Structure 1
Amino acid sequence: MTTIPRAPLILGLAGLIPFIWGALTVVNEPLATWAAANLGGRFVGPYIQLFYGAVILSFMSGVLWGFATKADGPQAATGYTLAVIPALWAFFMTGGGPVGAGMNLMFGFAGLLALDFAFWRWGLAPEWWMKLRVLLTAIVLICLATGVFL
């Protein structure tokens, strides 16, 4: 596997900030209190993670759709079909309270990693793609787990 290019690595890591912030406000009550008072409740604990997680799953549907444009025939149709799953998952599965929604987002991100692997295996994603996606997904799952299990 080749090295992850600098720009996707930095931007991917920067994209983790809301997940990490949410986890920090779950485990640090003074930080959560400060954030709620100064930023609002939507930017504290699992709530920022749930909103942002739904956004990112939808974004990743677009990324997969872009990969599908490199395919032809039945593989392209399969790629386009698979590409919409993360966005639909986020839409339908993030209701019902923070614990259930957080758990469903965890399943959604794990499923997204499986889709990433399929597109990568088909040669539609860059060679370094899985190296980046495994790193980012592991951190997202750890952060979401704080909101679900703590």
Structure 2
Amino acid sequence: MMQIPRSALLLGLAGVIPFAWGALTTVNADLQIWGSVNLGPRFVGPYVQLFYGSVILSFMSGVLWGFAAKTTGRMATAGYALSVIPALWAFFMTGGGPTSAATSLIFGFLGLLLLDWFFWRLGLAPSWWMNLRGLLTALVVGCLAVGVYA
């Protein structure tokens, strides 16, 4: 497999920062207070994770849509249908409080990884895609789990 391009890796890791920040401010009261005062209460703890997680699942639907656009006919139709699942999941499954929403996001990101694999297996994603997506999914799920189990 090809190595992940540096820019994709760095941008992907930067995208984990809000999840990591949310986890840190969940377990560290002083950091949560600082963040609430300086950034606002929406940008600490599970709140930043849940909002940002919904945005990222929706963004990834767009990425998958782009992969589906590389096909035609029934394969394109199936790809387009599959590509909207992460955004719909985020929309419908993130209510009910921070613990259930975070749990739903965890399952959403794990399901997204399966969709990533499907598109990659069809040759629609770059050869390095699963290396990047596996790493990012592990980091995101780990950060979300802090909010669920803390």
| Displacement of 1:135 | 0.2
Counterpart of 2:36?
36
Identity of aligned residues (%): 69
- 1:1-150 correspondence to structure 2 within 5 Å: 1-150=1-150
- Which letter does structure 1 place at the counterpart of 2:79? G
Give the whole-Å Cα distance in 1 for the aligned partners of 2:91 and 2:68.
21
SS in 1 for 2:95: coil
| Displacement of 1:14 | 0.6
Q: Mind listing any 5+ residue stretches in structure 2 that lack a counterpart?
A: none
| Displacement of 1:37 | 1.4
| Displacement of 1:28 | 1.0
Instruction: Tell me the alpha carbon deviations over residues 55-86 of structure 1, each in whole angstroms, 9 at most, x when there is no partner.
Output: 00000000000000111211111100000000
SS in 1 for 2:88: helix
SS in 1 for 2:107: helix
> Please, what TM-score do these two structures have when normalized by structure 2?
0.99
Give the whole-Å Cα distance in 2 for the aligned partners of 1:12 and 1:64.
16
Q: Give the count of matched residue pairs.
A: 150
Give the whole-Å Cα distance in 2 for the aligned partners of 1:68 and 1:77.
8
- Which letter does structure 2 place at the counterpart of 1:87? A
Give the whole-Å Cα distance in 1 for the aligned partners of 2:45 and 2:72.
43
Give the whole-Å Cα distance in 1 for the aligned partners of 2:2 and 2:148.
34
- What stretches of structure 1 move > 6 A for 4+ residues in a row? none
Q: CA RMSD in A?
A: 0.5
- Which letter does structure 2 place at the counterpart of 1:105? L
> Please, what TM-score do these two structures have when normalized by structure 1?
0.99
